[in-house]
Amino acid sequence: MIGLLKLGFDEGITTEELADALRRHADEVAIEDLERLAAVLEQYLRTVPEALATALGMSKDPHCGRAVAFATGTILTYIFDEEDLLPEASYGTLGMLDDAYLVHAFVDLLRRMYPFAAPSLIYAAPEARTSEVVAAILPQGVAESLRRTCESTILVAQALFPSGQGADTADSAFEPQLRVTEAVAAAATAAATSPSL
C-alpha cells in the first residue's frame, strides 16, 4: 500500500502544478516566490508515504503496537476522507497539505512518545522550518488544531491500549483490570440520590 501511495505522490506532485495552484490563491505574489514555495511544499508532500510507513512500522512493536495501530488508523481516516478541511476535489494538490501536516506532526509525536519503538524504515522528518511554512499556508488555527488532534488521538490510544514499555518481553503484556469495587461504590452513591437505580 505504501509503495502505491509513494508512486502516486511521485507522479502526481510537481513544483509546477503546486505553483499553478498557489497562483489561483495569490495572483499578486511574484511567480518566483510561488515557485520557491511550491518547491518546499513538494518535498514536504513527497515524504508523507515514508511518514506513514514509519507509523505502520511502529505499530508492530510489541510494547506499544496496539496503541500506535489504533492511533494510526484514526489518522488514516482523516487522510482518506474526501470531505476533510481542504478537499482535494476543490483545492487540488494543495488539498493534501492539511493531510501532510497531520501525518508529519503525528509521526513526530509518536517518535517522542515511543522512543523505544524502532520502525523498520528510516524516515527523515521535514525540518521544523519547513513545517512552519506549511503551518503558515494553512487556514488560521488549523495547524494548532491538527497538532492537538495528534496529541489527543495518541492519549486516547494509550488509555485504551496501555504501553508495555517497561516490560522485559512481549509476553508480559498489560492486562486490563476491571474496577468492580469502584463501580459498586458509584452505584451505591447513584442509588442514594436517584431512586430509579
Neighbour-count burial for 88-107, b at 16+ CB within 10 Å, e otherwise: eeebbbbbbbbbbbbbbbbb
Whole-number pLDDT of residue 7: 56
Report the sign of the C-alpha dihedral through residues 71, 72, 77, 83, in that order: positive
Task: Give the cell for residue 138.
Answer: 494553512
Where does residue 146 rank: exposed (0-12), middle (13-18), buried (19+ CB within 10 A)?
A: buried
Task: Give the cell for residue 102.
Answer: 497531520
Q: What are the tens digits of pLDDT across the range 44-59?
A: 999 999 999 999 999 9
pTM of the predicted protein model: 0.82
Q: What are the tens digits of pLDDT across the range 92-139?
A: 899 999 999 999 999 999 999 998 886 666 789 999 999 999 999 999
Q: SS3 string of the chain? A: CHHHHHHHHHHHCCHHHHHHHHHHHCCCCCHHHHHHHHHHHHHHHHCHHHHHHHHHHHCCCCCCHHHHHHHHHHHHHHHCCCCCCCCHHHHHHHHHHHHHHHHHHHHHHHHHHCCCCCCCCCCCCCCHHHHHHHHHHCCCCHHHHHHHHHHHHHHHHHHHCCCCCCCCCCCCCCCCCCCHHHHHHHHHHHHHHCCCC
Q: Which residue has the higher pLDDT, 83 or 163?
A: 83
Q: What are the tens digits of pLDDT across the range 4-26?
A: 556 566 667 899 999 999 999 99
